Amino acid sequence: MDPQTIRIPSPGWDRFFRRPESTIPLLQAVQKESGYISEESLDRVATHAHAPLSTVYGVATFYSQFRLRRPGLHTIRVCEGTACHVLGANDVMDAFQELLGVQVGETTADGVFTLESVRCLGCCSLSPAVMIDDETYGRVSRKGIAKILAKYRKDTR
């Protein structure tokens, strides 16, 4: 089957060259539009870029910026940089995992939270720090996490 006839490119894709070199910008465009890269989108990118699907998948899984699963409504980023690590980031991460029932990189069954680990949030004086969406929480402790999560759960009802 001719790759040109498989699917019509998404609107705005005409600005990307139809060559393998466009794979990363195409993946970035897909993720920006939908929040993640679905299996169907991987196929569409491969078709548009005239690249093997295995190559596109390899690029999408190599770079940590790309998500292959739909993220939750809220993204929790736990800083595990040096200052946060020294001041208890492991305990904070363990508490989030226990309370949410997920591991790093996973989304809760209800689709509300995605848990991520980051190397630095740039607010070492607030260690250990957590960012939920665009809001930063400093000096987070295990006992304060349930209250933080309750605020976001309330907002989703």
Summarize the confidence of residues 26-55 as an average pLDDT.
93
- Give strand ranges (E) for 4-120: 74-79, 113-118
**Residues 25/26/28/31 CA torsion (nearest 10 deg):** 180
Binned at pLDDT 50, 70 and 90, residue 133 comes out as very high
d(CA 89, CA 66): 24
User: Domain 3-62: which topology?
Assistant: Arc Repressor Mutant, subunit A (1.10.10)
**Every domain range in the chain assigned CATH 1.10.10:** 3-62
Summarize the confidence of residues 17-37 as an average pLDDT.
90
pLDDT, position 11: 58
d(CA 149, CA 37): 27
pLDDT, position 19: 87
d(CA 129, CA 110): 25
pLDDT, position 118: 95
Amino acid sitting at position 137? Y
pLDDT-wise least confident of 11-15, 68-72, 132-136: 11-15
Quick: pLDDT tens for 67-114.
999 999 999 999 999 999 999 999 999 999 999 999 999 999 999 999
d(CA 122, CA 6): 45
146 CB-contact burial (10 Å; exposed 0-12 / middle 13-18 / buried 19+) = exposed
**Every domain range in the chain assigned CATH 3.40.30.10:** 74-155
Q: What is the share, in percent, of the chain residues with pLDDT greater than 70?
A: 90
Backbone dihedral region for residue 122 (phi beyond 0: left; psi -120 to 50: alpha; all else: beta): left
Across the chain, what does the average pLDDT equal? 90
CATH placement of domain 74-155: 3.40.30.10
pLDDT, position 27: 94
pLDDT, position 10: 62
Amino acid sitting at position 61? T
| Residue 45: Cβ within 10 Å count | 29
Summarize the confidence of residues 128-134 as an average pLDDT.
97
Q: Residue 105: name the closest of 78, 136, 133, 134 by CA.
A: 78
